[in-house]
């Protein structure tokens, strides 16, 4: 059964985190009967455990709905749920390219946020018809008129006919479905033309192998056909062809304008290229689609297993995660202090946190992650250019001609009341103001900032100075030379390379002092006195002394309850296993993590 293109609507959902995007998607699925009551778990589309727990969407998901419109016709609605976080902006851009329209969800109690803005602009660039949807109107704090004004003032699109809904209670869902049918355009591909389909995403499924999410632009794709992938220049036999309801349902074919999935015996996602054009082997289309820019890792950190015998397990686990996450990069690293581990590249800080958490939770690994850092360009006086991923690899300063660091252009939206703190924060982080505008009680600040200053703890600070009200988005904005130095940490004169970082010279002393103070609190007292120092080259810039342990014995021995003491001892010994030895000093894993998460109070 093929649906005429005039009765197909492909749309994406754009929203800030917590504005109810996934709930709305679930509600649409339920209303259109995509799943039975029993199958309806909360946030159906966020299938990863972590996604459901944190309430965020990481991978784009798609689902085909059948909607019986008041005109009596059945419409095929293809919904794409997209990640809301800036780290996954790349996934958003791919989803948008596969649709003709977008629903812009704005929380009636919160208003427009920076990430919404970035995604809407992407949708506008993709020539999308946009339907503003104001969600959570059932809440007492909802202020629909104010949010409408914001949409018009901040984003610059007409919000007079915004749809008001409550995804939670179901209010306005019918009106929304009607708007999708009447206001969004149908796709305009040619069914009779040679096959041309966009490879939107791919992931690994234990039963099916690699599953490809695609959008057919022209022509018809059928099972058993011989296909040709134009970028990778490879040929495959189409195996299963079908759609998501969101369960995988075989349909045998997909026609121009439709979205669905394809399996064709591919074993690894590394064999697929996101943005590739899929056509028939025999009857190829003339031009391939423009595709996407490849994702570029922006934030790096190293991860070492606490128990060095778990190195192989860490490698296999990273490999498994990379099967479904083409933006995760990793390569082996050998640290004198931390042993064998991996240098990993991420799209951003949230991406990094999620990967670390999944490794610990799903693969039961205990990890020591190093401080997040960015890629520096080091120019040596021999004229070489080195991309420096790891502060530990920095060449001796005498061989360095100059160092460049990556900068970003950041857009921050914040209620006026908190603007002062935000501007001060940007200033402290070496920011350069590009623009500052006020719209309806909110300010929009645009800054150029070194990425290095942002990966550190910028986001946490931003949230704390604005009491959670500021939102933030950024894009890369080139490299720039600056006075950057490598700051090392020494514990009893022994360098701890996991704590080494590259900082701006003007920030070094402050950061070094802070890190030393922090470590003094985090390292337990030991048999002897311990010196904790921060140094640039041979020069000590900060120092703290941790005095020797004086007393830790418990006063009482609980009558005859020796078991309790023994269990306590077992716990202490277990804790000791999580320690790393530097010279004769033991540093617990928790100290690394806490020290690296530090904020400047």
Partner 1 sequence: MVQRLKTLESVAFPAPGFGIYVHWPFCLAKCPYCDFNSHVQDDVDHARWRGALVREIAHYAETLPHKQTVTSIFFGGGTPSLMVPETVAAVIATVRAHFPVAEDVEITLEANPTSTEAARFKGYAEAGVSRVSLGVQSLRDVELKFLGRQHSAKEALAALDLARQHFTRSSFDLIYARPGQTVADWRAELAEALSYAGGHLSLYQLTIEKGTPFYTLYQRGEMPIPSDDEAAALYEETRDQAAKHGYDAYEVSNYARAGEESRHNLVYWRYGDYLGIGPGAHGRITIDGKKYATRAHRAPQIWLERVEKHGHGAHEDTQLSCEDRAAEMLLMGLRLAEPLSLTRLETAAGGAEVLNWQEIRKAEAAGWLTVTEAALQTTEAGRLRLEYLLSHIIL
In the set 72, 383, 538, 560, which binds partner 1 (CB under 8 A)?
Answer: 560
Task: Assess 247 for contact with partner 1 (CB under 8 A).
Answer: no
3-state SS assignment for residue 394 = coil
CB of 553: closest distance to partner 1 in angstroms?
A: 4
* 561: contact with partner 1 by CB under 8 A: yes
Which one of the spans 35-43, 188-196, 499-507, 567-575 is the region binding partner 1 (CB under 8 A)? Answer: 567-575
Residues in the chain: 601
Nearest distance, CB of residue 492 and partner 1, angstroms: 15
* 576 part of the interface to partner 1, by CB under 8 A: yes
Q: Is the Cβ of residue 337 or residue 546 nearer to partner 1 in the bound state?
A: 546
Nearer to partner 1, 249 or 557 (CB): 557
What burial letters (b/e) apply to 292-331, b meaning 16+ CB within 10 Å?
Answer: beebebbbbbbbbbbeeebbeebbebbeebbbbbbbbbbe
Beta-carbon contacts of residue 431 (< 8 Å; ≥ 6 apart): 410, 447, 448, 449, 453
Closest CA to 330 of 319, 320, 343, 339: 343
Q: Rounded CA gap, 11 and 3, in Å?
A: 16
Among 557, 590, 599, 600, binds partner 1 (CB under 8 A): 557
- State the nearest-atom distance from the C-beta of 554 to partner 1, in Å: 6
Name the residue nearer to partner 1 (CB basis): 436 or 569: 569
Number of residues that bind partner 1 (CB under 8 A): 27
Binding mask 479-518 for partner 1 (x = CB under 8 A): ----------------------------------------
**Neighbouring-strand partners of residue 445:** 412, 436
CB 364 within 8 A of CB 448: no
Q: Which residue lies nearer to partner 1 by CB, 334 or 563?
A: 563
249 counts as binding partner 1 under rule CB under 8 A: no
Of residues 513-552, those binding partner 1 (CB under 8 A) = 525-528, 547, 549-552
CA distances from 548 to 452, 516, 581 (A): 36, 16, 17
- The least distance separating partner 1 from the CB of residue 586, rounded to whole angstroms, comes to 9
Binding of partner 1 at residue 566 (CB under 8 A)?
Answer: yes
Helix, strand, coil tally for the chain in percent (to 5) = 30, 35, 35
In angstroms, give the least distance from the CB of 557 to partner 1. 7
Residues 6+ apart with CB under 8 A from 158: 152
55 vs 524 by CB, closer to partner 1: 524
Nearer to partner 1, 293 or 573 (CB): 573
296 interacts with partner 1 by CB under 8 A: no
Task: Dig out the tokens for 527 from the structure.
Answer: 């048999």
569 binds partner 1 (CB under 8 A): yes
Q: Which of 139, 188, 434, 562 binds partner 1 (CB under 8 A)?
A: 562
Q: Which of 36, 160, 309, 563 binds partner 1 (CB under 8 A)?
A: 563
Question: For partner 1, which is the closer residue by CB, 460 or 570?
Answer: 570
Query: Could you give the CA distance from residue 587 to residue 558 in angstroms, rounded to a whole number?
Result: 30
Pick 539 or 551: Cβ nearer partner 1:
551
How many C-alpha atoms does 235 have within 13 Å on its Cβ side?
A: 8
Does 572 bind partner 1 (CB under 8 A)? Our answer is yes
> DSSP character for 222?
E
309 binds partner 1 (CB under 8 A): no
Cα 114 to chain centroid distance, Å, stands at: 15
- Which CB, 139 or 568, lies closer to partner 1? 568
Euclidean distance between CA atoms 428 and 422, whole angstroms: 10
Shortest reach from residue 524's CB to partner 1, in Å: 8
Q: Give buried/exposed letters for 514-542 (b at 16+ CB in 10 A, else e).
A: bbbebbeebbeebeeebbbbbbbeeeebb
Which tokens is 489 given?
A: 């940490």
The verdict on 382 binding partner 1 (CB under 8 A) reads no
The stretch near partner 1 (CB under 8 A) out of 215-223, 246-254, 275-283, 571-579 is 571-579
Angstrom distances, CA of residue 25 to CA of 101, 382, 393, 558, 590: 15, 57, 46, 57, 39
In whole angstroms, the minimum distance from the beta carbon of 531 to partner 1 comes to: 18
Kindly report the number of other CB atoms within 10 A of residue 225's CB atom: 18
- CA proximity to 355, closest of 368, 346, 343: 346
Minimum distance between the CB of residue 304 and partner 1, rounded to whole angstroms?
23
Closest distance between partner 1 and the C-beta of residue 571, in Å?
A: 9
Interacting residues with partner 1 (CB under 8 A) = 525-528, 547, 549-563, 565-566, 569, 572-573, 575-576
């Amino acid at each position: 059964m093929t649906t005429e293109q005039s009765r197909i609507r492909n749309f994406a959902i754009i929203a800030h985190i917590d504005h109810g995007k996934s709930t709305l998607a679930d509600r649409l699925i339920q209303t259109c009967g995509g799943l039975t009551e029993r199958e309806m778990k909360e946030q159906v589309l966020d299938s990863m455990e972590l996604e459901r727990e944190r309430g965020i969407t990481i991978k784009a998901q798609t689902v085909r709905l059948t909607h019986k419109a008041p005109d009596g016709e059945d419409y095929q609605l293809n919904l794409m749920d997209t990640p809301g976080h800036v780290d996954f902006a790349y996934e958003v851009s791919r989803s948008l390219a596969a649709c003709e329209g977008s629903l812009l969800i704005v929380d009636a109690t919160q208003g427009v946020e920076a990430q919404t803005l970035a995604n809407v602009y992407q949708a506008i660039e993709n020539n999308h018809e946009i339907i503003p949807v104001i969600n959570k109107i059932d809440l007492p704090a909802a202020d629909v008129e104010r949010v409408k004004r914001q949409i018009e003032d901040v984003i610059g699109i007409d919000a007079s006919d915004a749809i008001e809904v409550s995804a939670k209670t179901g209010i306005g869902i019918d009106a929304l479905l009607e708007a999708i049918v009447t206001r969004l355009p149908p796709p305009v591909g040619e069914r009779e033309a040679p096959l041309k389909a966009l490879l939107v995403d791919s992931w690994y499924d234990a039963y099916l192998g690699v599953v490809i999410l695609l959008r057919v632009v022209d022509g018809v794709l059928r099972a058993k056909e011989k296909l040709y992938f134009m970028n990778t220049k490879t040929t495959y036999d189409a195996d299963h062809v079908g759609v998501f309801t969101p369960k995988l349902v075989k349909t045998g074919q997909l026609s121009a304008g439709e979205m669905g999935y394809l399996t064709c015996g591919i074993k690894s996602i590394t064999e697929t290229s996101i943005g590739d054009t899929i056509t028939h082997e025999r009857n190829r289309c003339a031009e391939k689609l423009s595709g996407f820019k490849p994702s570029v890792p922006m934030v790096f950190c190293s991860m070492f297993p606490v128990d060095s015998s778990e190195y192989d397990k860490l490698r296999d686990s990273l490999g498994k995660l990379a099967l479904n996450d083409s933006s995760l990069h990793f390569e082996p690293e050998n640290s004198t202090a931390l042993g064998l581990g991996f240098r990993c590249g991420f799209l951003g800080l949230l991406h990094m946190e999620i990967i670390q958490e999944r490794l610990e939770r799903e693969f039961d690994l205990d990890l020591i992650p190093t401080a997040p850092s960015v890629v520096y360009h080091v120019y040596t006086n021999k004229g070489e250019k080195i991309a420096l991923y790891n502060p530990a690899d920095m060449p001796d300063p005498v061989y360095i001609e100059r160092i460049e660091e990556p900068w970003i252009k950041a857009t921050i939206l914040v209620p006026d009341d908190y603007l002062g703190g935000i501007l001060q924060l940007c200033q402290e982080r070496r920011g350069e103001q590009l623009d500052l505008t006020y719209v309806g009680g909110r300010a929009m600040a645009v800054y150029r900032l070194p990425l290095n200053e942002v990966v550190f703890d910028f986001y946490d600070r931003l949230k704390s100075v604005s009491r959670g009200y500021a939102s933030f988005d950024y894009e890369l904005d080139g490299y720039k030379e600056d006075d950057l130095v490598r700051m090392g940490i020494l514990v009893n004169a022994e360098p701890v390379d996991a704590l080494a970082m590259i900082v701006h010279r003007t920030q070094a002393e402050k950061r070094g002092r802070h890190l030393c103070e922090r470590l003094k609190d985090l390292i337990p007292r030991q048999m002897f006195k311990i010196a904790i120092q921060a140094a640039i080259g041979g020069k000590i810039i900060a120092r703290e002394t941790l005095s020797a342990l004086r007393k830790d014995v418990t006063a009482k021995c609980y009558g005859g309850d020796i078991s309790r003491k023994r269990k306590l001892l077992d716990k202490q010994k277990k804790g000791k296993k999580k320690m790393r030895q530097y010279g004769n000093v033991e540093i617990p894993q928790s100290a690394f993590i806490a020290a690296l998460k530090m904020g400047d109070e």
